[in-house]
Amino acid sequence: MGFETLVSRRRWRASSTRRAAAVVAASVLLLTGCTSDPLAEQFREGSGKNYIAGDGTISVYAADDRGEPIEFAGETVDGDSYDSADVAGQVQVVNFWYAGCAPCRVEAPILEQVYEGTGRDEVSFVGVNVRDQAGTAASFEEDYGVTYPSILDVSEGAVQLAFAGPVPPAAVPTTIVLDQEGRVAARVLGQLEEASILDSIISDLLAEQA
């Protein structure tokens, strides 16, 4: 075996023992009713690299540098239709995610917090799930209290294609904020660290129209 040719059997057995102990520990936590999220905690600690994410870079674009409006549509987790044209004139927050993405789990409550604090007539939120089927995505939304809709984009990738310029296809999570004309006004490449960051971006865009 390739792995065993690089590592001695003794070290391999020790590693296996540690992995088994970790599994047992995780099982004990579940049995005792712990509500922690091991994958999210692993991400916070800086380990676990089974995903590709951005570095948290925040880019904000002046009005003259926002490019052309982006239009997109798709079927949501609940089976409804979503069309960005229906929220034209609003600031739009678009978050790309999937259930097995550790930083997505960390930032989900932050996004929901901002969503709950915004006016529905001025700001809209939509997620774009890039990997999961409806059942998996719905479970995530229930577990993390996400109440805004998400488009399932795993089959056709139409929304990802619409954002192909501002959103690197492999970087998840990414949060895009569109201005009232549907143009990219800001991008958070990677996990959203604080609600205040997104609040500030939204407030500045609303102030432009005041």
Residue 41 lies in a domain: no
Which of 148, 166, 163 has its CA nearest to residue 60? 166
38-71 tens-digit pLDDT: 444 443 444 344 444 567 789 999 999 999 999 9
How many structural domains comprise the chain? 2
Identify the pLDDT of residue 56. 76
Residues 15 and 118 placed together within one structural domain of the fold: no
Identify the pLDDT of residue 117. 96
Residue 50 lies in a domain: no
Residues 172 and 124 placed together within one structural domain of the fold: yes
pTM for this model (two decimals)? 0.76
78-128 tens-digit pLDDT: 999 999 999 999 999 999 999 999 999 999 999 999 999 999 899 999 999
Domain range for 163: 57-208
CB 80 within 8 A of CB 152: no
117-176 tens-digit pLDDT: 999 899 999 999 999 999 999 999 999 999 999 999 999 999 999 999 877 767 899 999
Mean per-residue pLDDT, 68-76? 97
Residue 201 lies in a domain: yes
Identify the pLDDT of residue 169. 66
Residue 61 lies in a domain: yes
Residue 42 lies in a domain: no
Question: Which residue in this structure is represented by tokens 């958070």?
Answer: 188
Residues 68 and 30 placed together within one structural domain of the fold: no
Residues 29 and 121 placed together within one structural domain of the fold: no
Phi and psi (nearest 5°) for 23? -65, -45
